[in-house]
Structure 1
Amino acid sequence: MTEFSFTCTGVRADAYAAGPTLVFRLRITAAGGARVHAIALRCQIRIEPARRSYGPAEAEGLADLFGERSRWGNTLQPVQFAQVSVMVPSFTGETETDLVVPCTYDMDIAATRYFQALTEGEVPLLMLFSGTAFTGDAGFHVEPVPWDREAAYRMPAAVWREMVEQHFPGCGWLRLPRDTMDELLAFRSRHALASWEATVRALLDAAAPPQPPPPAGPAPGAGRPVAILPSLIGRTAP
């Protein structure tokens, strides 16, 4: 059986993809310079949050996922990021190929919330490989890619932010149920609002607590000098 090893050598944001997409560069090595006709490769990518430290702001952003920092000894469990497939073409000994990973900016997804909470540093990833290899020098053999093949990679958090900015510059993304969207659309139409931003802003303004009235000004005449008339004693001269 051919011995395979995998290494991730880099990652980039695909600026030309229709949606947010990361492209990981994989180096695949077949021991002994074996001839490989093709590999139907599967890759599961997961985040290993316990393999890095976090600042106060990051810890606050991760509280929704892992709870208070005092509980992280038990709650910093791996987070599923992606599961993708790629067909690796023929090579002998070693080759490199791109692993394309479509992403989402849906904040209901745990991996997205994790990425969004990071302000700097790297994302510790673990890639788990499996699949089917077609090998042989003088023939055609079918053999599995062992389930224990894996590769660790630390992806710069800046790459994720670059990818998001390419597709949602300066914006966030919110998923809502269809009936809620219908109500929002009806509200927008009734009030002739030009954009979804204006629609949400109108709702926020309506829900905001009333502002306290400004302090009352001085009463009319306040601050003017008061004339004090002298009291007259006795009669006035005729």
Structure 2
Amino acid sequence: MTERQLELTFTVVDVAPEPYSVSPVLTARVSVGASTDDPVHAIALRCQVRIEPLRRSYSDDEAAGLLDLFGPRERWATTQRTFLWQHCTALVPGFTGTTTVALPLDCSYDFEVAAAKYLHALRDGALPLQFLFSGTIFVKSERGFSVQQVSWDCEHHYDMPVSVWRDLITQHYPNTGWVRLNHDTITALAGYKSTRGLLDLDHAIISLLDADREAAR
């Protein structure tokens, strides 16, 4: 006797900052629904989260921040493509009918990462996300347990408010950010700071920018 294939549906209910994490983490609450009333023992859930930049519009200030990623607006028709944000996993405990699982999304504020650069450029509105679900389903059967795979077409589109991302970054990096420099640049910048009696590297960079603006006049 052939076992019935269990069909699942996944719906992202909301996304919010995880308040007590050491590093920046967003938590996506995902509703999982089964096509039958048969009990599901567990799901080893995997998810690929992608950003869909074409699903929103951008102000001029946002467009300036996206120049490194997509070039000028006139090129966006060919340069703006859906791109990967991250992979994440979760173990869904046993349930019957429907349940809700917390899906952790680890976030980086490294401006060398395309997703962080994109998110930093957004001022308001929504972040257009695509959740692609996969994984292994463990169900009880007459022979004990059987294993099935989450259908390849399980996905959900979700528009996360940009304010959620900004709240997360404010929580972990209040009024600060991270820029990666090579060792020689750091050494030179530290020397510049010391010889001019500046308070820190931030003031050293501001001094260099002010000097550059003066020279450009």
TM, length-normalised to structure 1: 0.81
Aligned 1:188-227 pairs, distance under 5 A: 188=193, 193-204=198-209, 209=214
TM-superposed CA distance for 1:90, in Å, is 1.1
Q: Contact 1:33 / 1:94 at 8 angstroms: preserved in 2?
A: no
Instruction: Give 1:150's aligned residue.
Output: 155
Any stretches of 5+ residues in structure 2 without a counterpart?
A: none
Q: How many residues are matched? A: 212
- Identity value in percent: 43
1:92 partner SS: coil
2:40 to 36, 42, 47: 36
Instruction: Measure the CA separation in 2 of the matches of 1:52 and 1:115.
Output: 13
Q: 1:188 to 1:5 in 2, by over 3 A?
A: same
Letter in 2 for 1:81: W
Instruction: Measure the CA separation in 2 of the matches of 1:57 and 1:184.
Output: 29
1:132 partner SS: strand
1:91 partner SS: coil
Worse overlay, 88-97 or 154-163: 88-97
Q: Contact 1:49 / 1:77 at 8 angstroms: preserved in 2?
A: yes
1:64 partner SS: helix
Instruction: Measure the CA separation in 1 of the matches of 2:21 and 2:54.
Output: 31
**2:106 is aligned with 1:102:** yes
From the CA coordinates, give the structure whose radius of gyration is larger. Answer: 1
Q: 1:158 to 1:172 in 2, by over 3 A?
A: same
1:59 partner SS: helix
Q: Contact 1:45 / 1:128 at 8 angstroms: preserved in 2?
A: yes
TM-superposed CA distance for 1:153, in Å, is 0.5
TM-superposed CA distance for 1:208, in Å, is 5.5
Instruction: Give 1:56's aligned residue.
Output: 60
TM-superposed CA distance for 1:85, in Å, is 1.0
**2:22 is aligned with 1:18:** yes
TM, length-normalised to structure 2: 0.88
Aligned 1:33-182 pairs, distance under 5 A: 33-138=37-142, 139-182=144-187
1:77 partner SS: coil
Letter in 1 for 2:101: T
Instruction: Measure the CA separation in 2 of the matches of 1:122 and 1:103.
Output: 17
Instruction: Measure the CA separation in 1 of the matches of 2:215 and 2:151.
Output: 64
CA RMSD of aligned residues (A): 2.1
Instruction: Measure the CA separation in 2 of the matches of 1:199 and 1:55.
Output: 31
